[in-house]
């Protein structure tokens, strides 16, 4: 007869998902998803300052290559990618950054898997943490990403991401009210800027 602690350990091991299989489930969910809408709460923790900033808003994603984050608090801000166009608009400052030659391929798979283009197995090694979440570590050094933790729902949808960079800062995003394949329009990803908006120049390439 197994000792109680041994039985608990074996039960935990049996219940622990295979990390590669879990990553494949995540990949498959987003490859099947034509568009997605969700509410989000983002908590960015600054390691050096020991403080955190909490933001809330709405995320919309559509294939191919469209993504829009509408921040509602603590200040309004929109960050939208549509093909090669990136717009970051801050209404309260009446300020916008526009990049007409945005290279979406430069984005980490930590983001691009949402639109079904990132290849998790190609870019990351996998593990499972003590809570059953999927842990991703880049196969090649990336200062933007040290580790990524994905909390995965029953269908493969990601309900929480925690991205830690090389400096120890953590970007945690919790998704709620996730809806997929609702028929979002391409025009939903257009950002209309006021005529008098102050445009911040894109860095020279």
189 secondary structure, DSSP code: G
The pTM is what?
0.85
Q: 4-47 pLDDT, tens per residue?
A: 554 444 344 445 679 999 999 999 999 999 999 999 999 999 98
**Residue 160 contacts residue 174 (beta carbons within 8 Å):** yes
Per-domain residue ranges of the chain: 18-200
For residue 63, give Cα distances in angstroms to 113, 156, 158, 166.
11, 18, 17, 30
Comparing 142 with 125, the larger pLDDT belongs to 125
Q: 142-181 pLDDT, tens per residue?
A: 777 899 999 999 999 999 999 998 889 999 999 999 999 9
Q: Domain spanning 18-200: which superfamily?
A: Lipoprotein localisation LolA/LolB/LppX (2.50.20.10)
């Amino acid at each position: 007869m197994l000792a109680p602690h041994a039985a608990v350990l074996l039960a935990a091991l049996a219940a622990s998902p295979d990390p590669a299989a879990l990553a494949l489930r995540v990949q498959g969910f987003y490859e099947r998803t034509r568009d997605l809408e969700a509410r989000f709460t983002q908590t960015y923790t600054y390691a050096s300052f020991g403080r955190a900033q909490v933001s809330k808003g709405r995320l919309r994603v559509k294939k191919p290559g469209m993504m829009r984050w509408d921040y509602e608090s603590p200040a309004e801000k929109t960050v939208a990618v549509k093909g090669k166009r990136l717009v970051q608009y801050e209404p309260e400052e009446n300020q916008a950054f526009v990049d007409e030659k945005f290279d979406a391929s430069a984005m980490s798979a930590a983001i691009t898997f949402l639109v079904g283009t990132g290849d998790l197995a190609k870019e990351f090694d996998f593990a499972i943490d003590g809570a059953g979440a999927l842990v991703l570590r880049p196969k090649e050094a990336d200062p933007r990403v040290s580790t990524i933790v994905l909390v995965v729902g029953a269908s493969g949808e990601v309900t929480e991401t925690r991205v830690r960079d090389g400096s120890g800062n953590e970007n945690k995003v919790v998704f709620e009210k996730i809806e997929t394949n609702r028929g979002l329009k391409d025009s939903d990803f257009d950002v209309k800027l006021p005529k008098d908006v102050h445009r911040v120049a894109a860095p020279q390439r």
